[in-house]
């Protein structure tokens, strides 16, 4: 495997994804955890960073522990740090070095640069530049404005590059990463979904033996794929619980329960609608809603799990981005929204936790799910927040408002699917606003609710753009909603991007 040492760059996870696209397994470690010598580690990539090596507070682990002993590739800050620690000079760049550049004077005999075209486009994003290299460091490529665009250390498999091979604007970035990971480090490209499934199922069998496992299904991709893997390993000893909170989409509970049964899962559907509605009564504050829902879910789930004799494990669909120890070099960030739907569940239940997906990125979970023949209506579904429609009903939640919103949402989502827009959009839904507006229907004056439609494009939900859906499509959806859903006389479309807006309104 490859270890990526994270110095806090926004691109660190992207490096990991690119390496895995080469079917090579890799892990991200914080820069403070320089790995010990271990024959399974074939090479190390040092990430970029928002910091400057000239700042004495910047991350500066002693890299001599690894360089010269194992292949190392420093990207941007990682390259500068190696040069700086060995007596080179790093200074603020005189010109702005941000954006596309052409890689010239490539030493094509160098194994790192093998098969790269002359003048290939690379992506620069840095405020500092290496002005002088230490002895034994040799320039292997330059651009017009960056002399040290790539270097190699003589007698070592140590390389540094100033550009970012992980972003798609570096057109041949993947070729370079393959040169490093496969040719220089000697990793075999055998980390495929089939191998992942086979080895995970084997490990789960060993770990779980004849123990019983309980797992909460949500209808989403992660919990479904986690359940199928555990099911492959231990069959009927996996007990799934699917709670109807009354805050799901229209028909969602019935449809998904059906799919789960078709997949052969041992699943119990629990109708807890009124418990959730009772817990939400009188609450308007978004964070208090989340807490009330989280608490109720734990209570309902705990009571169900206690009905299973001798259960020892709690299965969860935690994925890799949730467990990467993130390096924050710019101080702690503020909580915008808490996303802890079932935080506290394992502690309360005193169960051991099993998380078969905690090394995978979301897109990898989808590929594994498809390989396990999980149907597309589960694998390709949009993300849906744990608190469900409760955070799309601004103000107090009531059963009646949920029903209104379910109808609106169903028209929107069904239309997106029918017109082929569903898979182009990353997430979509409707929001019921606590606003009444005047309208006219026939000869009658109406005074009814307003709904907002929200559809965004995104890669990971961290940033998002509003989806530029065709006007005629929006017009059709709007009239269908106003004609069919009682109590709604106005539809608006949310044209805010994230940031500064968020995807959900609460």
Closest CB 299 distance from ligand XMP, rounded Å:
18
| Residue of 269, 383, 395, 439 that binds ligand XMP (CB under 6 A) | 383
Q: 51 φ, ψ to 5°?
A: -85, 170
Within 10 angstroms of residue 285's Cβ, the number of other Cβ atoms is 11
Q: Are 88 and 132 in contact (CB under 8 A)?
A: yes
| Residue of 54, 339, 468, 486 that binds ligand XMP (CB under 6 A) | 339
Closest CB 107 distance from ligand XMP, rounded Å:
45
Nearest CB to ligand XMP, comparing residues 86 and 341: 341
- Residues annotated catalytic, as ranges: 76, 164, 166
- Strands 464-466 and 444-458: what pairing? antiparallel
Closest CB 502 distance from ligand XMP, rounded Å:
3
The span from the CA of 147 to the CA of 267, in Å, is 62
Closest CB 372 distance from ligand XMP, rounded Å:
23
Interface with ligand XMP by CB under 6 A: which range of 19-27, 191-199, 417-425, 496-504? Answer: 496-504
> In the stretch 108-147, what mask flags binding to ligand XMP with x, by CB under 6 A?
----------------------------------------
The span from the CA of 411 to the CA of 429, in Å, is 10
Q: 387 φ, ψ to 5°?
A: -75, 0
Question: Taking CB under 6 A as the criterion, which residues in 409-428 touch ligand XMP?
Answer: 427
- Geometric angle at alpha carbon 18, from 167 and 152, rounded to 5°: 75
Closest CB 3 distance from ligand XMP, rounded Å:
29
Interface with ligand XMP by CB under 6 A: which range of 5-13, 44-52, 94-102, 495-503? Answer: 495-503
Dihedral, CA atoms, 295, 251, 371, 13, nearest 10 degrees? -50
Question: Taking CB under 6 A as the criterion, which residues in 317-336 touch ligand XMP?
Answer: none
Check binding of 502 to ligand XMP (CB under 6 A): yes
The span from the CA of 248 to the CA of 252, in Å, is 6
> In the stretch 442-481, what mask flags binding to ligand XMP with x, by CB under 6 A?
-------------------x--------------------
Check binding of 219 to ligand XMP (CB under 6 A): no
Binding residues, as ranges, are 218-224
- Geometric angle at alpha carbon 356, from 290 and 165, rounded to 5°: 90
Check binding of 356 to ligand XMP (CB under 6 A): no
Q: What is the DSSP letter of 338?
A: -
- Strands 150-153 and 137-141: what pairing? antiparallel
Q: What is the DSSP letter of 344?
A: T
Question: How far from each other are the two terminal CA atoms of the chain, in whole angstroms?
Answer: 41
> In the stretch 265-294, what mask flags binding to ligand XMP with x, by CB under 6 A?
-------------------------x----
| Residue of 267, 385, 390, 402 that binds ligand XMP (CB under 6 A) | 385
| Residue of 81, 301, 387, 407 that binds ligand XMP (CB under 6 A) | 387
Reduced DSSP (H G I as helix, E B as strand, rest coil) percent helix, strand, coil of the chain, to 5: 35, 25, 40
Closest-CA residue to 488 (of 442, 432, 428, 445): 432
Q: Which residues bind ligand XMP (CB under 6 A)?
A: 290, 337, 339, 341, 383, 385-387, 427, 461, 498, 502-504
């Amino acid at each position: 495997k490859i270890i990526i040492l994270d110095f806090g760059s926004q691109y660190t996870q992207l490096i990991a994804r690119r390496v895995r696209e080469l079917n090579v397994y890799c892990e991200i470690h914080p820069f403070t955890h320089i790995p010990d010598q271990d024959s399974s580690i074939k090479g190390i990539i040092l990430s970029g960073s928002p910091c400057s090596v000239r700042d004495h507070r910047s991350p500066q682990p002693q890299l001599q522990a690894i360089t010269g002993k194992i292949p190392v590739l420093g990207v941007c800050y990682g390259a500068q740090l190696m040069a700086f620690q060995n007596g080179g000079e790093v200074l603020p760049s005189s010109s702005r070095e941000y954006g596309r550049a052409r890689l010239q004077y490539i030493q094509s005999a160098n194994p790192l640069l093998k098969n790269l075209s002359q003048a290939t486009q690379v992506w620069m994003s840095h405020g500092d530049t290496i002005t002088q290299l230490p002895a034994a460091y040799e320039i292997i490529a330059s651009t017009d404005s960056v002399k040290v665009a790539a270097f190699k250390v003589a007698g070592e498999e140590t390389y540094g590059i100033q550009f970012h091979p992980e972003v798609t604007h570096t057109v041949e970035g993947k070729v370079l990463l393959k040169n490093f990971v496969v040719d220089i480090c000697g990793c075999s490209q055998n980390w495929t979904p089939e191998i992942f499934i086979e080895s995970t199922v084997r490990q789960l069998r060993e770990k779980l033996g004849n123990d019983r496992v309980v797992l909460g299904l949500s209808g989403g991709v992660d919990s479904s794929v986690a359940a199928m893997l555990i099911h492959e390993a231990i069959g009927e000893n996996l007990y799934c619980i699917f709670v109807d909170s009354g805050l799901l989409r229209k028909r969602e509970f019935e449809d998904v329960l059906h799919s789960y049964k078709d997949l052969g899962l041992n699943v119990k559907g629990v109708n807890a609608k009124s418990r959730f509605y009772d817990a939400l009564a009188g609450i308007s504050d978004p964070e208090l809603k989340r807490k009330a829902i989280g608490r109720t879910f734990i209570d309902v789930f705990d009571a169900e799990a206690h009905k299973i004799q001798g259960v020892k494990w709690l299965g969860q669909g935690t994925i890799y981005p949730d467990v990467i120890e993130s390096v924050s070099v710019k101080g702690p960030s503020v909580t915008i929204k808490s996303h802890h739907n079932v935080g506290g569940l394992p502690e309360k239940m005193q169960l051991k936790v099993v998380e078969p997906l905690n090394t995978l990125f979301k897109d990898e979970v989808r590929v594994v799910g498809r390989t396990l023949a999980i149907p597309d209506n589960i694998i390709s579904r949009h993300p849906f927040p744990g608190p469900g429609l409760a955070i799309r009903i601004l103000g107090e939640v009531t059963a009646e408002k949920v029903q209104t919103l379910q109808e609106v949402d169903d028209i929107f989502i069904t239309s997106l699917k029918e017109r082929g827009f569903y898979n182009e959009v990353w997430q979509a839904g409707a929001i019921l606003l606590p606003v009444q507006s005047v309208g006219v229907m026939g000869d009658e004056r109406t005074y009814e609710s307003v709904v907002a439609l929200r559809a965004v494009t995104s890669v990971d939900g961290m940033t998002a753009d509003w989806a530029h859906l065709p006007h005629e499509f929006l017009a059709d959806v709007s009239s269908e909603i106003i004609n069919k859903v009682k109590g709604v006389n106005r539809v608006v479309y949310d044209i805010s991007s994230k940031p500064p807006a968020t995807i959900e309104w609460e």
